[in-house]
Structure 1
Amino acid sequence: MMDAGDLDRDFLLFTLAIVGLLWYTILWGIGLLGCMTARKRYRLRPRSPSANAPRETTPGVSILRPLKGLDTNLYENLESTFTQEYPNFEILLSVADEEDQALPVVRELIAKYPNVDAKVIVGEEVVGVNPKVNNLVKSYRMAANDILWVLDSNITADPGTLARSVDALLRPTPTSGDKRIALVHHVPLAFVNEHKLGSRIEEAFLNTNHAKMYIAINTVAIDSCVVGKSNMYRRSDIEHVNGTLRPVTSKMHGVVPCGLPAFGRFLAEDNMIAGALWHELDLRHDLSCDVARNAVGNMSVGDYITRRVRWIRVRKHMVLAATLLEPFTESIILSLIAASSSKYLFGVPMLLFFPLHFAAWLSVDLDVYASLAGFPLPSDRTWGFLIAWGAREILALPIWVIAMFGSRVEWRGKQYQVLRNGEVEQAGSMNWFDRLRSSRRQGDYERIDLET
C-alpha cells in the first residue's frame, strides 16, 4: 500500500512531467513558426513597383548613418545606401568630430556617386549617455524628409531594401480596426571574414536561434521586439513619444520632452523607440522581406561573452520575467526537461532522446539560415559552423548566470550602471579585469543594439 506521501510525490512528478512536455511543445511551436515564416517571407523578395516610379510620386526618405571609426566592411556597407533602387532619398552621414577615420571613406563615396544627394554632418549634440543618439540628433533635425531610415555602420543593404521597406511602412491596413504601421525593421543576417571563434559564434547565434525567435515573436506580435540595426520610421511619430511607455495624453505635451533626444538616456535606444511607438501611440511594427546584412568584426570569445552579458543585464531591467525564463528556452536545458519528462511518462531512454532532439533542433536552425541567406550553409564551412553553433549553445547558460548577478556593464572603456527601466548612468572606475579588456579593444566601435 502506498501512503499519502508517496501519492503526493507521484502526483507532483507526474504534474511536472506534463508541464515539462507542454513547455517543450510550446517552444518547438515557436521555433517552427519562426522557421516557416522565414521560408515564406525571405525566400522570395519581389521587386517593388516604386523602384522605377517617377520621383514626384514617391515619398522622400532620409537615410541616417551614424559613424565612428573604420568599422568592418565600412566602404561596402556605406556604398549599399548609395546604390538603393529608389528615386527619392537623401543620405546623411554623421560623425562626432572632424578627425574621425570614417570621413575619408565617406568623401570617396560622395565623389564616386555625384548624383546621389549625400551630406556629411560633423559634430554631436550631447543629450544623454548614448553616443549613437548624440551622434544622430543633428542629422535627425536636418533631415529633409519625414520618413527616416536609420542604419548602423556595420550594415549592408540589398539595393531593393529601401523601396520594399517604404512599401511595408505605407501598406494600408486591411480593416479600419487594424493599427497603422509605424516602424519597419529588418532581421540581422551576420557574415564574417574573420577566423576568430568569437566572430563565428556571433554569426551562428544571429543567423539561427536569434533569427528564429526574433521572427516568431514578431509574427505573433504580442508586444514590441525590435533590434536597431536597420529601422525605418516617421519623424512625426517620434516627436510624440518619450520612452515612458505610457499612452500619450494631451497633458503631457510640453511637459515631458519628446523626440529622439528623449532616448539619449537609454543604452538600448532602438528597443525603447520601438516600444514607445507601440505603447505610447498604440501603433505597430512590420518586418520587411529584406535582411540587414551585419558585418561581424574581429571578436574573441571573451568579446562575445561580454557583449551578451551586457545586453542580458539591460534586458533584465526592462523585461525581468522574460529574462528569467530565458534559460528554459535554450536547447540544452530544454532537452534535459523534455528528456526527463519523456522518461518518466513513457520510458524513453534519455540517451536516445538527446541525439534526436539536437539533430531536429539543428535542422530547424540550418533551415532558418538558408531562408535568410538565400542558400544553404556551404559545405566547406559546415564543421566550423557546427563548432560555433555548439559553443553558442554551451555558453548560453553560463553567460546568463554571469549576467544575472550584476547591473554594471562595460561599454567602450566606460562603466555604466543599468537602472530599473533600462536607463543608464555612468558608474565609477573599472576593476582591473574590465580595464584590461578595455585596453585590448581600444579604438573599436561597439554599436548599440539589443538582441531578442
Structure 2
Amino acid sequence: MERNDTQIVTAKLTFASVGLVWYAFLWSIGLIGCLAARKRYRLRPRSPLASASASSVPGVSILRPLKGLDVNLYENLESTFQQEYSNYEIFLCVADESDQALPIVRDLIAKYPAVNAHVIIGEEVVGINPKVNNLIRAYRQASHDILWVIDSNISVDHGTLARSVDALDPPPRAAPSGRKRIALVHHVPYAFVTEPTLGARIEEAFLNTNHAKMYLAINTAAIDSCVVGKSNLYRKSDLERVDGTLKHSTSAGSDGREKGLAAFGRFLAEDNMIAGALWHELDLRHELSCDVARNAIGNMSLADYIWRRVRWIRVRKHMVLTATLVEPLTESVLLGVLTSIALKYLIAFPPWMFLLLHFTGWLLIDLDVHTSLAGQPLPSGSAFRDFIVAWSLRELLALPIWCVAIWGSKVTWRGKDYFVMRNGELSRRGSGLEGWLPWNWLKGVNVHHKYEPLPVEETNTR
C-alpha cells in the first residue's frame, strides 16, 4: 500500500513539474511573438525599390481571385493599383461573366489607365479548390516570374510590394552568406471590422492577438513552414518544381507528377501546401516583410465564427496532427487551470491568485501584439470594452470549438460540403458516415476525386 502511495505521489510530482515546464515554454513562445511584432511592425521604412525605374526592378504579376462583393472590395482592389512600384501587372480573376465584382474591376481599370491590368473571366477546373481553378489561367498568362497572390478581402499599404520584393530578393550585401534562399514572402493578417457583429469582433480579436502571436513566434523560430495565404509572393519558376507531396524534389516533371499551381487544386489549404512544398521539396525558406495584410471582416455571426474555426481545425488535423492534438494545451483557459492545480500541489499557491495573474499577463501580451500590428494603441472607451469582451469570449470558446472539430472531417466551404482526407486533400464524395468517422480518418480512407468541370461555353477571357 505504501509503495502505491509513493508511486501516486511521484506521478503527481512528475505531472505537476512537467506542467510548469510546459507553461514556461508557452510563455516564452508568447514573448517571442510579442517581441517579434514590436521589432518588425512598429517601423516600416520605405524601400529604395519604390522610386526605382521599371528597368531596374524585378517584374511582378499580381493575381487576385474574386467572387462576388467581398467586404471593402473597392478599397481592397484599389490598394494594388496604388503600389509604389514601377514594374507590375494585375490579373483580376472571376469565374463567370455575371460576377458582381466585375463592375468594380472595370471602374478601377478606367480610373487607373496607366496600370497594366487584365480581367480574366472563366475558370479552368484543375482540382476541387475553386480558388486555384479561378487563378490557373492568370497563372499561365503571367508575364513575370514573381507572383503576388492576394485575396479579395485584403488591402495593403502602398509600399508593401516594394518591401516584399526586397525581402524575396535582397541585395547581395543584405543576404547573410550561407543562408538558404527565400522562396516565399508572406504577410501576417491584421483584421479590422466593418460591421460590428459579435462573430466579427471575436474573429478580429483572434487574428490580431493569439493567431498573430503564435504565427510570428513560429516564423521567428523558423523550424518549419507556417504560412496563411492571405497575401503571398513567390516565384513561378519555383512553383513549377513542386507537386505538394512535401518530398524532396530537384527538377520539374522528372517523376511524372503534375507540378505548378495546378498540382495544388486538390487541397483546401492550397496556400499552406504551396509554402510547405517550397520549404520541404526545394529546401528553401520563407520570410515575413514588415507589412500586414489588412483583412476586412464584415457581417459575421457567432455561428459563422465557430464553424470557420471548426473548418480550419479539421483541415490542420489532417496536415499537422500532433500540433492540432496539443492545441488545447496552448490556450489560456485550459493551460491556466492546469497550471494553477500544479502550483497548488507543489507550493500551495492559491489558484484564484494565480489565475488572476495569468489572465492579466496573457491579455497584456496580446494587447501589445495588437498594438504593434496596428501601429497605434487600441482606442479607449467602449471600443476597448468591446474588444476585451470579444477577446474573453474567444478564449472561452477555444476548447469547446476544438472538441467539436477534432472528431469530424466534413467541412463546408462556399456553400458546398467537402471531406478532408488524411493527406489534406479534399473530396466531394460522402453521404453520411463516410469520410468523417474517427476510424476512417485514422485508417486514411482514400476517397476518389470528383471534380466538377464547367461547361466549355462558360469559360472565356476578356
Q: TM-score range by the shorter chain?
A: over 0.9
Task: Quote the Cα distance in structure 2 between the aligned partners of 1:81 and 1:281.
Answer: 30
Q: Which moved more, 1:2-11 or 1:182-191?
A: 2-11
Task: Say whether residues 1:55 and 2:57 are aligned partners.
Answer: no
- Residue of structure 1 equivalent to 2:100: 101
Task: Quote the Cα distance in structure 2 between the aligned partners of 1:348 and 1:166.
Answer: 52
What one-letter code is carried by the residue in structure 2 that aligns with 1:50? L
**TM-aligned CA deviation for residue 6 of structure 1:** 1.6
- Residue of structure 1 equivalent to 2:111: 112
**TM-aligned CA deviation for residue 48 of structure 1:** 0.2
Match of 1:418 among 414, 420, 423: 420
- Residue of structure 1 equivalent to 2:265: 264
- Residue of structure 2 equivalent to 1:130: 129
Give the direction of change, closer, same or farther, for the CA distance of 1:167–1:174 in structure 2 (3 Å limit). closer
- Residue of structure 2 equivalent to 1:436: none
Task: Quote the Cα distance in structure 2 between the aligned partners of 1:95 and 1:416.
Answer: 22
Task: Say whether residues 1:21 and 2:20 are aligned partners.
Answer: yes
Task: Quote the Cα distance in structure 2 between the aligned partners of 1:33 and 1:249.
Answer: 34
Give the direction of change, closer, same or farther, for the CA distance of 1:252–1:79 in structure 2 (3 Å limit). closer
C-alpha contact 1:190 1:207 (8 A) present in aligned 2: yes
- Residue of structure 1 equivalent to 2:345: 344
- Residue of structure 1 equivalent to 2:446: none
Q: How does 1:364-443 map onto structure 2 within 5 Å?
A: 364-380=365-381, 381-428=383-430
**TM-aligned CA deviation for residue 249 of structure 1:** 4.8
Task: Quote the Cα distance in structure 2 between the aligned partners of 1:160 and 1:18.
Answer: 48
**TM-aligned CA deviation for residue 427 of structure 1:** 3.0
**TM-aligned CA deviation for residue 344 of structure 1:** 1.2
User: Root-mean-square deviation (CA), in Å?
Assistant: 1.4
Give the direction of change, closer, same or farther, for the CA distance of 1:430–1:202 in structure 2 (3 Å limit). farther
Task: Quote the Cα distance in structure 2 between the aligned partners of 1:118 and 1:77.
Answer: 15
What one-letter code is carried by the residue in structure 2 that aligns with 1:263? F
Task: Quote the Cα distance in structure 2 between the aligned partners of 1:251 and 1:282.
Answer: 15
- Residue of structure 2 equivalent to 1:245: 246
C-alpha contact 1:415 1:430 (8 A) present in aligned 2: no
What one-letter code is carried by the residue in structure 2 that aligns with 1:386? I
Listed one character per residue, the Cα deviations across residues 130-161 of structure 1 (whole Å, up to 9, x for unaligned) are 00000000010111100000000000000000
- Residue of structure 2 equivalent to 1:356: 357
Q: How does 1:152-163 map onto structure 2 within 5 Å?
A: 152-163=151-162
Task: Quote the Cα distance in structure 1 between the aligned partners of 2:291 and 2:303.
Answer: 31
What one-letter code is carried by the residue in structure 1 that aligns with 2:231? S
**TM-aligned CA deviation for residue 177 of structure 1:** 2.7
- Residue of structure 2 equivalent to 1:445: none
Aligned residue pairs total 430
C-alpha contact 1:415 1:428 (8 A) present in aligned 2: no
- Residue of structure 2 equivalent to 1:38: 37
- Residue of structure 2 equivalent to 1:228: 229
Task: Quote the Cα distance in structure 2 between the aligned partners of 1:174 and 1:189.
Answer: 28
Give the direction of change, closer, same or farther, for the CA distance of 1:251–1:38 in structure 2 (3 Å limit). closer
Task: Quote the Cα distance in structure 1 between the aligned partners of 2:351 and 2:423.
Answer: 42
Task: Quote the Cα distance in structure 2 between the aligned partners of 1:226 and 1:183.
Answer: 9
Task: Quote the Cα distance in structure 2 between the aligned partners of 1:58 and 1:206.
Answer: 33
C-alpha contact 1:408 1:415 (8 A) present in aligned 2: yes
C-alpha contact 2:241 2:250 (8 A) present in aligned 1: no
**TM-aligned CA deviation for residue 428 of structure 1:** 4.1
- Residue of structure 1 equivalent to 2:298: 297
Secondary structure of 1:135's match?
helix
Task: Quote the Cα distance in structure 1 between the aligned partners of 2:14 and 2:205.
Answer: 36
- Residue of structure 2 equivalent to 1:209: 210
What one-letter code is carried by the residue in structure 2 that aligns with 1:354? L
C-alpha contact 1:196 1:299 (8 A) present in aligned 2: yes
Task: Quote the Cα distance in structure 2 between the aligned partners of 1:139 and 1:252.
Answer: 21
**What is the aligned-residue identity percentage?**
68
Secondary structure of 1:379's match?
coil
What one-letter code is carried by the residue in structure 1 that aligns with 2:57? T
Task: Quote the Cα distance in structure 2 between the aligned partners of 1:260 and 1:338.
Answer: 45
Task: Quote the Cα distance in structure 1 between the aligned partners of 2:412 and 2:38.
Answer: 38
What one-letter code is carried by the residue in structure 2 that aligns with 1:416? Y
- Residue of structure 2 equivalent to 1:167: 166
Give the direction of change, closer, same or farther, for the CA distance of 1:24–1:210 in structure 2 (3 Å limit). same
Task: Quote the Cα distance in structure 1 between the aligned partners of 2:140 and 2:255.
Answer: 18
Task: Quote the Cα distance in structure 2 between the aligned partners of 1:339 and 1:194.
Answer: 38
TM-score (norm 2): 0.91
Task: Quote the Cα distance in structure 1 between the aligned partners of 2:102 and 2:395.
Answer: 39
Secondary structure of 2:124's match?
coil
List runs of 5+ in structure 1 lacking aligned partners.
Answer: 432-452
Listed one character per residue, the Cα deviations across residues 71-129 of structure 1 (whole Å, up to 9, x for unaligned) are 00000000000000011111110111111100000000011111111111111000011
Task: Quote the Cα distance in structure 1 between the aligned partners of 2:404 and 2:256.
Answer: 40
What one-letter code is carried by the residue in structure 2 that aligns with 1:395? L
- Residue of structure 2 equivalent to 1:435: none
- Residue of structure 2 equivalent to 1:438: none
Give the direction of change, closer, same or farther, for the CA distance of 1:119–1:252 in structure 2 (3 Å limit). closer
Give the direction of change, closer, same or farther, for the CA distance of 1:348–1:293 in structure 2 (3 Å limit). same
Listed one character per residue, the Cα deviations across residues 37-75 of structure 1 (whole Å, up to 9, x for unaligned) are 100000000000010011110010011100000000000
Give the direction of change, closer, same or farther, for the CA distance of 1:194–1:250 in structure 2 (3 Å limit). closer
Task: Quote the Cα distance in structure 2 between the aligned partners of 1:192 and 1:296.
Answer: 5
Give the direction of change, closer, same or farther, for the CA distance of 1:266–1:251 in structure 2 (3 Å limit). closer
Listed one character per residue, the Cα deviations across residues 3-29 of structure 1 (whole Å, up to 9, x for unaligned) are 212211111111111100000000000
